[in-house]
A = this chain, B = another copy of it.
Amino acid sequence: MKLAALETLRQQNPIVFNISNFVTVQDVANGINALGASPIMSEEITEAEEMVQMASAVVLNLGAFTERQVAQIRRVGQLANQYHKPLVIDPVAVGAVKYRKQVATQLLADFQVDIIRGNAGEIAALADVDWQAKGIDAGEGNQDLVAVAKACATKQHAIVILSGPTDVITDGKQVCKVFNGTPLFQLHVGSGDMLSSVVGAFAGVLPDYFEAAQTACATFASAGERVAATLSAEQPGTFAAKLFDELHLMTLQNLTETAKFEVQP
């Protein structure tokens, strides 16, 4: 865990190229912009190579993928590999929709991803573990979450972030748990997508992607927790507005005081 990377991020202002979910794209752009990164979005395959070249990191969100978008995602993923840019994937709803799992599986064979960020249902699907997902929600299952995350990491040869009340981050062997957060994240639809792009922002400044994933989770979850502490009730709209404030204003000292995590070697 390298919390000080928050300051590196703000100094370096990494460009994060997002193939984004049309539902939450505005929040994602504003979230990483508030944090200190520079978001770029594009839906046109012709400019994909230029975008990847200028980017410090690439984030592919499978939140709403038409056939055209899937073709663009494939191309951008391959370009990220070619130009050695850190590549984050957010496999939205692959646990609930068979078509999405099928396409995601093919994509993960077409390029090598560095970090996968999803909820329990999504990570279980990519690990081929039984799980009951529900729409875009995590759903329920009897499996141990750490085992699910490890299985996915091993199968996909990637760092895995399994998001939830406790975030589980693993490279397949080592495990980091981040205990920060707030139930308000689930009351705001763009939270998961925003975290995935925050992961991209940190991967753009930290060459060790396992550390980048941990630090991104601790930073994002701490920001949410700090906002929730200022609210007198579960106010999802006010929470969203203040989350952007906190992403911009949170200092390294505040982050260090708030972050609660453990790393198991």
Contacts and interface: CB of A to CB of B under 8 A. Distances in A.
Interface of A: 15, 20, 22-27, 29-30, 33-34, 38-44, 46-47, 50-51, 54, 64-67, 93, 96-100, 134-137, 187-190, 233-238, 240-245, 248-249
A46 B67 contact: yes
Nearest to A136: B40
A50 B103 CA distance: 14
A23 B23 contact: no
Contacts of A240: 30, 237, 241, 244
A107 to B, nearest CB: 14
Contacts of A43: 22, 64, 66
Oligomer: number of copies: 3
Contacts of A42: 64
A85 B187 CA distance: 25
A64 B237 CA distance: 25
A189 B35 CA distance: 12
Contact of A244 (B33, B135, B236): B236
A248 B187 contact: yes
30 contacts: A20-B23, A23-B29, A23-B41, A30-B190, A30-B240, A33-B187, A33-B188, A34-B187, A38-B136, A39-B189, A40-B135, A43-B64, A44-B64, A44-B99, A46-B99, A47-B97, A50-B97, A50-B98, A51-B97, A54-B96, A233-B245, A234-B248, A235-B249, A236-B244, A236-B248, A237-B240, A237-B244, A237-B245, A238-B242, A240-B241
